[in-house]
Amino acid sequence: MSSSTLFSLTLCFLVLFNCGFAQIEQVTSRHEQQQARRRSSQHSECQLQRINALEPARRIKSEAGVTEIWDENDEQFECAGVAVIRHTIHKRGLLLPAYTNTPKLVYVEQGRGIQGAVFPGCPETFQSSGQYSRDGSQSSEDQHQKVRQVREGDVVALPSGVADWFYNNGDSPLVLVQLLDTSNPANQLDQDFRATFT
């Protein structure tokens, strides 16, 4: 094969690859622009005349209590870019550790209990740090799991990517209302809420 033919062939492949990559970039940028327009149009088209009280669309019973989920595709929730869930946890009940793909606010409507959150991203997640108390004894505390007491009226804010759980150590049902921000950029896949129990 002559060097001029090889040069011509190489030049053709180079042009084809560059054109192919340029088209792929155009398609992906068009897709991203369409998604951005769709999100902005959803929020700009919100013309709610009044807010209506809604009943939960799904109700899930378990040994520990009841979880009620409102329809996130309802116009009011879609317009606000949120999903709403209410958990009623019986005495000595545990809401299993769950990961959500959105940031959320948890309002403690009734009762008291313990809330735990595991923050990702650190390789030493399961290492404990030793701390000394005033009397000289050593206690251990997990560096990346935050455990706190919650009671009626408290609001807990959690970023996306955090697994959290609740335990009812009170004498009455622990009622939690979760507001999940599905329109947040951290919710990368779509406008839907997804929970994964760990």
**Structural domain span for residue 185:** 58-123+141-197
How many domains in the chain?
2
Is the CB of residue 149 less than 8 Å from the CB of residue 112?
Answer: yes
3-state secondary structure of 61: strand
Residue 51 domain flag: no
3-state secondary structure of 33: helix
Residue 132 domain flag: no
Nearest to 105 by CA among 164, 180, 167: 180
The two three-digit tokens of residue 107, written as one number: 């309002």
pLDDT at 116: 94
Residue 134 domain flag: no
The CATH number of whichever domain residue 154 belongs to comes to 2.60.120.10
Overall average pLDDT of the 149-157 stretch: 96
Do 116 and 31 reside in the same domain of the chain?
Answer: no
Overall average pLDDT of the 170-175 stretch: 96
Residue 164 domain flag: yes
pLDDT at 125: 47
pLDDT at 92: 96
- Tell me the average pLDDT of the chain: 76
Longest dimension (CA), the chain: 89
Is the CB of residue 86 less than 8 Å from the CB of residue 148?
Answer: no
pLDDT at 46: 77
pLDDT at 87: 96
Query: What are the tens digits of pLDDT across the range 29-51?
Result: 555 655 555 555 555 577 778 78
Do 69 and 41 reside in the same domain of the chain?
Answer: no
Residue 112 domain flag: yes
At 75, is the pLDDT very low, low, confident or very high (cuts 50, 70, 90)? confident
